[in-house]
Amino acid sequence: MINLSGIYPPIPTPFTNDEQLALDQLAANVQRWLAQPLDGLVTPGSNSEAAFLTPAEKLAIWNQCGVLLQGTGKYLIAGTGAETTAETIALTQAAAAAGATAALVITPSFFKAAMTHSALVAHFQQVAEAAPIPILVYNVPAFTGIDLTPATILTLAEHPRIVGMKDSSANVSKVAQVLAARPQFQVFSGSGSALLPFLSIGAVGGIMALANVAAVPLRRLLDAFATGDLATARRVQLALVELNTAITACYGVPGLKYALDQLGWYGGPSRRPLPPLDAAARADLDRLLHKLHAMPAAR
């Protein structure tokens, strides 16, 4: 089984001012991320505005990232989840052909009442059967309204190509139940504020918006935990909570893109109907980015 452990950013999708893909800016951003202490990239995820991308745009992004990551030793994890099983399978196969190492598959959610344990198990198992690459299940109840139960996760973990999960619920108790029964299942924290708690119960890393702008301190946290330096891991974790909350719960994708712009990457606009940041939000992020730069672990 492939070991995907580590730190991954779900990278924002760069758009031009008229909301078209900015592939040249994507290439420049990817080159900068490759110089960071990251284990790969995830695209598209929630922070990539995946819900606003067409299948053709996703393929263009995978093709470019696949070429840029080739030979780097870093993994491309492709967000291939869709509302139907057939489209998820097609996207997963296309991502694999473009060079993706694994697929991150979000739960279908439009017909929530029908997404029972048996329906979700059937969906993920059918995707896994047709997939040429390993599958990570993506549990993000804040966006989907569906929170996978330990029973469903453990059933999915029995499939040899369903190797792990990104969990953005920050529910340590639930994840602990899963890892107690299936310690080899590769769980990733979906929140930069929950990385250390997740590591403490056996998670193998994080797929976090925060990794786009704070790869160095997140790596320091991961390395400190691995060597038993829990005091350093705790200090770094607590220092990152406010920024993580700002670019996720408070300001979302526009906030993350603004942070990238301020740090020298290309963030650019989001697609409508996401609104741009107001002056107060920009000032708050400027304050938090100054604090990030001042952190010893950030340099």
Side chain identity, residue 78: A
Annotation says 166 is catalytic: yes
| Active-site choice (58, 74, 112, 166) | 166
Of 268, 292, 266, 271, the residue nearest 30 (C-alpha): 266
Q: Which of 90, 107, 35, 37 is nearest to 68 (CA)?
A: 35
Cβ atoms of residues 211 and 194 within 8 Å:
no
CB neighbours of residue 227 within 10 Å: 10
| C-alpha to C-alpha distance for 288 and 244, rounded to whole angstroms | 10
User: Which strand ranges, in their side-by-side order, compose the sheet holding 75-79?
Assistant: 6-8, 205-207, 186-189, 162-167, 135-139, 102-106, 75-79, 40-43
**What Rg value do the Cα atoms of the chain yield, rounded?**
18
Residues labelled as active-site residues: 166
